[in-house]
Amino acid sequence: MPFLTRRLLIAGTGAASLAFATSASADTPVNLGVSIPTATHSFTAAIVYWANKAKADLEKEHPDLHVTVKTAANAGEQANQLQDLLTANKINALVVFPFESAALTKPVAQVKSKGVYVTVVDRGLTDPSIQDAYVAGDNTAFGKIAAEYIAKKLDGKGDIVALRGIATTLDNERMDAFQSVMKNYPGIKLLDAKYGNWNRDDAFRVMQDYLTRFRHIDAVWAADDDMTVGVLKAIEQAKRTDIKVIFGGGGAKGMVKTLMDGSDPRIQADVSYSPKFIYDAIKLTADARLKGERLPPTTIVPSVLLTKDNAKEYYFPDSPF
């Protein structure tokens, strides 16, 4: 099994994980729908890659399992696709990676109301009671690790800026964790935190704005390795030399290679958050439903600090991310 699968932390009681669902039994074929964002950047490209790999692997292993993967470019399209999965594909289980939290809560609830078993991945819904299970990376650790590292590198003093992702529950978790750590460092001032949408071009524009408005910046929390690429481009174009620390997030292969090579003194650490958790979520859901079982309420994949010392362990050159 891949190392991330082995490192899954399961939250929930053993009794809950073995309880039988009311909507499926061990001898019922599983028609599993997978609803995910389209490949707008390398992280979601890897989400699509791992989802399709899960479909291929699991359908080969289980002849009584059918997996339908649909990708959506926005929240409205994803909501429509959920209805298609229900009415046209007649799914009895769903793994959904919401494009946005609030916009997808009602559409997922409508699917759930038809007796479909629902596993929500990564970007949680605004009403968690809708889901049967939740699988994600450790978003609290994601923000906490970044804040602790930046604070230490700056010796507790300096001016920083942050780039957020998309307005989702996981982004709120990351930002809340980051700020809770920074409260312990009154000498560090967070100048601004704007949404970069986990996108290189958007991050470039946000960072251009920061560089225009703030004459001095000590550190940047880019909060995503794709956004880090846009941040670096903006800094290079502005010819700014004041920024000492740039911390991204996710463990993208390009950033991990930077750590391994030591090629940028501003980037000496990252935090893991592998898109492979979509594969894990699909496999866990399929395996459980084929047995007529339920998953634990929450499954969390740990996020850990990446440095030159352990970067090689997290380097996957063949992955899109």
The predicted-structure confidence for 260-281, as pLDDT tens digits, reads as follows: 999 999 999 999 988 888 999 9
Residues 28 and 86 in one domain: yes
User: Using alpha carbons only, how large is the chain's radius of gyration in Å?
Assistant: 20
pLDDT of 13:
33
Mind giving me the DSSP string for 278-294? HHHHHHHHHHHHHTTB-
CA distance readout (Å), 317 to 117, 121, 196, 251: 35, 24, 25, 12
Question: In this structure, are 178 and 124 located in the same domain?
Answer: no
Residue with tokens 């399961």: 10
Q: What is the mean pLDDT of residues 53-75?
A: 96
Exposed/middle/buried for residue 193 (C-beta within 10 Å: 0-12, 13-18, 19+): middle
Whole-number pLDDT of residue 27:
59
Query: Does residue 96 share a domain with residue 23?
Result: yes
Q: Is residue 315 part of a domain?
A: no
The pLDDT value given to residue 214: 98
Q: Per the domain annotation, does 149 fall within a domain?
A: yes
pLDDT recorded at residue 22: 39
How confident is the model over 181-221, as pLDDT tens digits? 999 999 999 999 999 999 999 999 999 999 999 999 999 99
Would residue 40 count as lying in a domain?
yes
- Asked if 148 and 228 sit in the same domain, the reply is yes
Q: Residue 241 domain-assigned?
A: yes
The total of structural domains in the chain comes to: 2
Does a structural domain hold residue 265? yes
The residues pairing with 161 across neighbouring beta strands, listed in sequence order, are 192, 220
Same domain, 29 and 62: yes
Residues 97 and 246 in one domain: no
Residues 205 and 153 both lie in one domain: yes
280 lies in the same domain as 264: no
- Domain holding 183, by residue range, is 139-271
Q: Which residues lie closer than 8 Å to 163 by C-beta, 6 or more apart?
A: 193, 194, 195, 196, 203, 206, 207, 220, 221, 222, 223, 224, 227, 231
Query: Which neighbouring-strand residues pair with 186?
Result: none
Give pTM, 2 decimals: 0.73
Nearest to 26 by CA among 285, 284, 288, 291: 291
Between CA 102 and CA 126 the distance in angstroms is: 6
Question: What mean pLDDT comes out for the span 225-232?
Answer: 96
How far apart, in Å, do the first and last CA atoms of the chain sit? 20
pLDDT of residue 123: 85
Whether 82 is covered by a domain: the verdict is yes
* 277-311: pLDDT as tens digits: 899 999 999 999 999 999 999 999 889 999 999 99
* Residue 225 resides in a domain: yes
Considering the domain architecture, whether residues 242 and 293 belong to the same structural domain is answered as no
Report pLDDT for 26. 52
Claim to verify: residue 257 and residue 299 sit in the same structural domain: no
Residue 165, pLDDT > 50, answer: yes
Q: Are residues 83 and 46 in the same domain?
A: yes
Q: Which CATH number belongs to the domain containing residue 218 in this structure?
A: 3.40.50.2300
Query: Would you give the DSSP letter of residue 88?
Result: T
Assess whether 48 and 134 both reside in one domain. yes
Of 227, 253, 271, the residue that ends a domain is 271
309 lies in a domain?
A: no
